[in-house]
Every structure is written in C-alpha cells, then in structure tokens.
Amino acid sequence: MTSERLLHIVGSGPAGLAAAHAALDAGASVCLIDDNHAPGGQIWRGGPGRWTDARATRIWTALHDHPRFTHRTGTQVIGCADANTLLVETADGGAAIPFERLVLCTGARELSLPFPGWTLPGVTGAGGLQALIKGGMPVRDRTVVVAGTGPLLLATAATALRAGARVAAIVEHQPWSRLTGFGLALLARHRGKFVQAASLFAALRAVPYVTGARIVAATDDDILRGVTITTGGKEVTYSCDFLGAGFGLVPNTDLARALGCATADGAILVDATQETSREDIWAAGECTGIGGVDKAVAEGRLAALAALALHPSARDIPGLRASRAFAALLARAFAPGDALKTMCRPDTIVCRCEDVTAAQLLPHRDWREAKLATRVGMGPCQGKTCGPGCAFLFGWTPPDSRLPIMPASARALSRIE
C-alpha cells in the first residue's frame, strides 16, 4: 500500500465499514483496525451471515478479499506513541502503526447509572445484555427485564424474545407524554424510523411497557432474583434472571483525546466534513454524537471522502441531514432526567472496580479530589464506567484520557519500540 492513498480507520462498526467502502470506491487503500474478530461493531454484531441489515452485507461483500483492503482484527488500540503513531496490542504482543490520515470510528459505551444491586451477577447494561445474547448466551425460558431509557430498551427486549426468553417488562423512565411527542415527530419527519419503531412495538405487544418509572433496587441472594421499580407512586417487583439496565450511550473519545483532538459536550468535535481539530484526523459515528446506524453510515462515508480530499455526492447530503436531525431528536427525547439520581443511595457502590460508595464521594468537589481520597476510577476500567456516572450524579468533569487507554499487558508494552 502506498502512503499517498492509504487511509487508516479505527473501528469496524457501521461508520468504519462505510468509511472503508467509500475509500476503496475512491481508489484508496484501507487499513481497518478493530479489537473484535468479526466486523460490525455493536449495531451489526455477529459478523457476516447473521446480519439483518442489507447494507452491512453489501458493504462487507465489497470489502472482503479486496486487494487494497487490510482488516486487522483482534487488534486493540491502547494509545499512541506520538502524534501519528498508534500503539496496538494483538495476540502476538505489541506493535506500532504509523498513519498519515486517520478516521476514528470508535463508537460509544453505555451510560451506567448506579442503583442498589447494579453490581449483582445477572445485571448488565441493556446493550451489554443484547450483545451477550447475540454472542450466544443462552436465555431460552429465562426471564428478562429491561429498564432505563431510550430505544435500545425495545431493541434489547426484541432480541431476548427472539432468543426464547420471557420478557417480564420494559421499564421506560420517560413519561408517556414525551414518548408520544417523540413518536409524532418520527411520523412527521422520519417516516422510516417510525415504521421501524411501530414494527418493534408490534413484536413486543405482549410485553408490559411501563413508562414514567425508575429502578428502586435489584433484589438478590448473591445473584439476581428480581427488580423493584417505582411508577405512579407505587412500587412493583418483577422476578427475573437477567436485568438489562440502560440509560443511553456515551461517545467513546479516549483515543481521540489521547491524540489531541478536541471534544465538546462529551463527543469528538468535528466540522462539517467530519474533520477533528487535527487536520489529519477525521471522526464519524457515535463517537461524534449518538444518532444510530444511519448517522454512522452517512458520516463514515463523508469522513473517508473528506480525508481523501473528495466531496460527497448530491445523493449523500439528504441522508446526512436527516440522520443528524434524528440524532438531535433522540438527545432531546431521551436525556436522562434528574429523577434518576435518586436511584443512587448513600451506600450504593458508584465505582465498582474499587468499591467506592456514593457516601464516600459526596464530600469531594471534583473528580481529582475524589480520586486522591477514595481511589475512584483507579481500577481496570480507568473511570470509563464510573466517570460518566459521576458526571451525571455530581456534575464532575470526566477524567482525562491517559495511556494506555485500555488495560494492556506488560508483554505487549515491552515489545513496542
């Protein structure tokens, strides 16, 4: 591959695959780097042969075995050696990958908000539960509850049903009035999304859908036995084997910040062409703001073309605008409300890596002070879980990115020159 037309892409979800496809179509060579062993990311999880979105299959068919396409699977980016060199870890150890043009498609993580019992075996994020089921975790004849806020609850419940689980309830934090407004906005401006939502509701018509509710506690005797919620001033308990608690998504900006790219409102800051504050790095998809698969695909194409100094075609523009408008609608409709803060009690663990409770964190003014006194954020996740949680609960600025951005073995680090 010649460096003049070589584009490096991190992340092989919808944004990364769309970027790779656009770059190949433009005559460039592509090196796609991903820590998973199959392409697709979270949205198109499962790899070729299990996808239901025709776009995924079409894009992968064009990429697979293409002479100008290199797919580095099982390759985790753990940081950067300098401004234009990625540090990665593979099964063989560590390596350095230099780049001249880079597209970041690093996706998002779930926002985990603490409540009593959220660290029990059987309790995961809603997206985490969906990923486990798609990955083959058996749930047939087991009972599932999904709770929190956002469309991901419906998607997770539908995935569980298809896998043979019993879904006892979908517990949505937003009130019915806001959900109705969201549905009407979809009908008026995003007809395709409205049809998708209606199809999901039809598939879930037998499942109780509780609105204006929040979790009180997950109940246990060492493993999850049920979940108690409050709605309309009453408490209701559902017995369950699995609880998927999801409160939205948080853009994954760790690598971008390590590379010196600016962020704003928790997402990678990009201009109209997806270029970051660095002139040789672009970003696309959920890492630039949560918006779903259509936004990811549209931004991935735009980022790759811009990185190659090309312009999008006229047919790309309407889809890009529509996907960004949908992202803004999602953000307004499903922003976690302050009432969710009441789920966290003084004795509730907030930092699960270091067993730090809310009561231990409350006396402190900011993340740095709390970290010095309590070890919050000093465990294996490096604040990736508790950092956004503390930002929501206490208004703290999340921790800075530090190297390595992911846990790495000494063997890998020692082999990087």
- pLDDT, position 31: 98
Element (H, E) at 177: helix 176-189
Given this model, what pLDDT does residue 27 score? Answer: 96
Number of domains in the chain: 3
194 with 206, same domain?
Answer: yes
The model's pTM:
0.93
Task: Give the separation between CA 264 and CA 256, rounded to whole angstroms.
Answer: 12
Same domain, residue pair 241 and 254: no
Indicate if 16 and 120 belong to the same structural domain: no
Q: Report the pLDDT averaged over residues 174-187.
A: 96
CATH of residue 267? 3.50.50.60
Of 326, 286, 284, 333, nearest in space to 192 by CA: 326
Q: In Å, what is the CA distance from 238 to each residue of 139, 229, 232, 241?
A: 17, 8, 16, 10
User: Which of 194, 214, 246 is a domain's end point?
Assistant: 246
Let me know if residue 31 belongs to a domain: yes
What would the pLDDT profile of 214-258 be if each residue is shown by its tens digit? 999 999 888 999 999 999 999 999 999 999 999 999 999 999 999
Out of 213, 246, 279, a domain closes at 246
Q: Does one domain contain both 119 and 216?
A: yes
177, part of any domain: yes
pLDDT tens-digit profile of 13-58?
999 999 999 999 999 999 999 999 999 998 898 788 888 899 999 9
The answer to whether residue 8 sits within a structural domain is yes
Beta strand pairing call for 166-172 and 209-210: parallel
pLDDT confidence bin for 1, thresholds 50/70/90: very low
For residue 183, count CB atoms less than 10 angstroms from its CB and return exposed for 0-12, middle for 13-18, buried for 19 or more.
middle
Model confidence at 410: pLDDT above 90: no
* Burial track 91-105 (b if 16+ CB lie within 10 A, e otherwise): eeebbebebebbbbb
Whether residue 217 contacts residue 353, with contact meaning beta carbons closer than 8 Å, is answered with no
Domain of 369, in residue numbers: 339-394
Does any domain span residue 228? yes
Cα–Cα distance, 48 to 69 (Å, whole number): 17
Closest CA to 357 of 344, 340, 338: 344
245-296: pLDDT as tens digits: 999 999 999 999 999 999 999 999 999 999 999 999 999 999 999 999 999 9
User: What is the phi/psi pair of residue 309, to 5°?
Assistant: 60, 35
How far apart CA 359 and CA 90 sit, in angstroms, is 40
